[in-house]
Amino acid sequence: AIWLDVANQFTVNGSITANGTDNTAGQSAAGSGGGIRIHCNVFSSSNGLISANGGMYGTGPYNGGAGGGGRIAIHYDPAAQATANLTARPVVRLSARSGWGSIQRGTPGTIYLTDSSFFPGSATTLYGGQMMITNLTSWSTASLTSSTDVVIFPDGCNVSVTNNLELSGDGGLQVRGALSVGGAASFNVNAYAI
C-alpha cells in the first residue's frame, strides 16, 4: 500500500505503482493490485501514471488465476482544484485493471476521485478500473479503443462516443447508463464485451 498525505500541491509526472506480481510458476495465482491513497489540497500532473494493476495469469498446464485490480483514491479540495484546473488541468493515467488471460480474468479494481473536474477528461484511451467518482453522470470522447483493459462506469453515468468505439482482445466496457456511439461500433473480444 502507498499512502501519501501532502499539505499543499501534489505533483506526479513520473509513475506511482502498486501492481500485483505476475504468475510465473505453474499452479500459483498472480497477485492482486495494491492500494494507493493520495490526500492533498491540489493534485497536479502533466504526464503521470498511477497504477494498481492485478498480475497476469500463467501459461502452464495448471496455472493459477489472474490477480484482481487494486484501489486508487485521490482526495483533494474541490474549490482549490477547480481554481488550479483553470491554469493547468491535470493529465494523468489511472489504472486499476485486473490481470487477464483466457477465462481466468480477475475483477477490475476501483478508481476514486473527489469529483470529475479533470478525470476521465477527454482521453481516447482509458485504462482499466471501476470509476467511483463523485457526481460522474456523463462522459464524452471523440473515439474510444480498448484492447487490454476493462472500464466500468458508475450507475446512471451516460457515455457518448462521437466517432468509433472499438473493443478487441481482452478489452471491455461496462456502461450502467446510456451509451451513444456516433460512428462504427466494433466488438471483437475474447473474455469481456460490454
Query: Residue 118 is which amino acid?
Result: F
Return the SS3 of 185: strand
Q: Mean of the per-residue pLDDT values for the chain?
A: 87
Alpha helix locations (H) across 65-184? 78-87
pTM over 0.75: yes
* E strand or H helix that includes residue 3: strand 2-5
- pLDDT, one tens digit per residue, over 2-58 is 999 999 999 999 999 999 888 776 667 788 999 999 999 999 999 999 999 988 876
- pLDDT, one tens digit per residue, over 171-191 is 888 998 999 999 998 888 665
β-bridge pairing 15-17 and 48-51: parallel
Q: How confident is the model at residue 101 (pLDDT cuts 50, 70, 90)?
A: low
Backbone angles phi, psi at 72, to 5 degrees: -125, 130
Cα separations in angstroms, 77 against 26, 90, 107, 136, 150: 46, 14, 30, 17, 29
Strand boundaries in 59-171, DSSP class E? 71-75, 92-95, 110-113, 129-131, 138-141, 144-146, 150-152, 158-161, 165-169
Lowest mean pLDDT among 11-15, 71-75, 119-123, 178-182: 119-123
Return d(Cα 166, Cα 187) in angstroms, integer: 6
How does 35-70 read in b/e, with b if 16+ C-beta sit within 10 Å?
bbebbbbbbbbeebbbbbbbbbbbeeeebbbbbbbb
Say which DSSP state 29 is in. Answer: P
Return d(Cα 74, Cα 187) in angstroms, integer: 32
Q: What is the pLDDT of residue 41?
A: 98
